[in-house]
Structure 1
Amino acid sequence: MDLLRITMQRSGIPVTVSEKSGVLELWLIQPDYEAHAMQVLNDFKTNPPPPETMQVRRQTGTLSSLWRMLAQQAGLFTFIVALTVLSVYVMQWFIAPEPTLRALLFTPGGAGPIDWGQPWRLFSPMLLHFSAMHLIFNLFWWWYLGGRIELQFGTYILVAVTFFTAVVSNYAQWAFSGPLFGGLSGVVYGLFGFAIVVAWRKPWSPLALPPALIVFMVGWLLLGFADVLFVNMANEAHLAGLLSGLLFGAIVRTLRLGRKASW
């Protein structure tokens, strides 16, 4: 399976591997590549590459292979948001901490009512992170979920679900706990909810999530509300993000089913 996956990725075909009942399955992320994938698969069956050859290639081109693999797992908007978050983290912690926080917190100066003359503040807190672990955790899930959504549904859908869940989760956190918060986690929970709905009863979907992942995400949310963790969590943002993602996913799934029915 690993040889086939590497062969597909080296051919520019975005694929992912999942486990079902102890069996590894290779899934095509974008349907547009189906014809190309079938050709590569037939060639692989007819003349499979020697494992040692693939190993040598992997060792000699690790960086380029890593870059190609990352490029196949995400689209342009996923890259842009990840790079922006990293840049803001550098500004926030090493270059201009106070001006960065003042510019991106939900309300100017960290207090007071919403300034509707600065609409970017409705979503800008998603760019702020308050520890390296916070940053790594959120970027990992952003890449894992956002990349798959962008490849499967397109950039416009990812942009829409990102900003919708960001605004809803940020507003909820501000309304219940005040303006001193930040992070992508509200959006991540929104993407999580979106994926659950659109992949419901579709195990072949690239957005079908392993049961263990679903249990982890829901458990993490509940632990936050139970206040048994040693970190401050934006619980209201997580819950609002999840609910808004579920809603957005239901809308998208309904519209797509209606479009198919009209044919």
Structure 2
Amino acid sequence: MKNFLAQQGKITLILTALCALIYIAQQLGFEDDIMYLMHYPAYEEQDSEAWRYISHTLVHLSNLHILFNLSWFFIFGGMIERTFGSVKLLMLYVVASVITGYVQNYVSGPAFFGLSGVVYAVLGYVFICDKLNHHLFDLPEGFFTMLLVGIALGFISPLFGVEMGNAAHISGLIVGLIWGFIDSQLRKNSLE
């Protein structure tokens, strides 16, 4: 286990640990306080509280929610950090948090939490970098199809009583695809 954790980057470990610790605090009775302090800005006076544009990504609403998000982030965020460095993953996290939060708020208001918009940005980034850089990450053939199925499930999930941040998922995927495309072109140009 020690070797496994040692292979992960600092940003991957820090963000994973933060999400886990916040979730544990929620389970210990601090959920209302955490949600109040960390939700996306809902009122004009909260607009200047800069942390709110990112902190909503660290809060999760169920065991399945945190398990899904942290599993994907740990694996694929870790790939980005090991390949491109901690600064790249941190920048992607911050930019995706802000953009996906803005889009989700625009579509449905400020009542949303979770890392999934960032996760979709990470997945989009890994996918396009893999495709444009001769299988850099050695992803399976159906990887992009899996991403699209995940988004499609988000649209039918309300039929089963589950609400998802579809706008955050889609905007995150777009952020990741665009950023990965740009980085792949820059990488290709630097190798020529």
Residues 223 and 229 of structure 1 are in contact (CA less than 8 Å); yes or no, is this contact kept in structure 2? Answer: no
Q: What is the aligned partner in structure 2 of residue 71 from structure 1?
A: 6
More helix by share: 2
Residue-by-residue CA offset, 1:160-209 (whole Å, 9 max, x unaligned): 11111111111111111111111111000000110111111545412x32
TM-score (norm 1): 0.68
1:133 and 1:186 mapped to 2: Cα distance? 16
- Name 1:177's counterpart in structure 2: 108
Structure 2: stretches of 5+ with no match in the other structure: none
Partners of 1:106 and 1:114 within 8 A in 2:
no
Q: Given the two structures, how large is their TM-score scaled by the length of structure 2? A: 0.92
3-state SS in 2 of match to 1:205: coil
1:155 to 74, 82, 86: 86
The one-letter amino acid of 2:56's match is P
| Separation in structure 1 between the aligned mates of residue 161 and residue 120 of structure 2, nearest angstrom | 20
Between the aligned partners of 1:217 and 1:94, the Cα distance in structure 2 is 34
Deviation of residue 87 (structure 1)?
0.9
Amino acid corresponding to residue 86 of structure 1 in structure 2: A
Q: Is the counterpart of residue 214 in structure 1 residue 144 in structure 2?
A: yes
Cα shift readout 1:202-232 (whole Å, capped 9, x = no counterpart): 45412x3213343222101012123444411
Match of 1:103 in 2: 37
Tell me which residue corresponds to 1:87.
Answer: 21
Query: 1 or 2, which has the higher strand percentage?
Result: 1
- 1:188 has 2:188 as partner: no
Structure 1 gaps of 5+ residues are 1-65
2:71 & 2:125 partners in 1: Cα distance? Answer: 17
CA deviations over 1:76-122 (Å, ceiling 9, x no partner)? 11000000001111222314222111110001xxx324734211111
Alpha-carbon spacing, 1:102–1:130, altered in 2? closer, same or farther (3 Å):
same
Counterpart of 1:225 (choices 140, 148, 155) is 155
Question: Percent identity over the alignment?
Answer: 31
Q: How many residues align?
A: 191
Structure number, greater radius of gyration:
1
Output the amino acid matched with 1:76: K
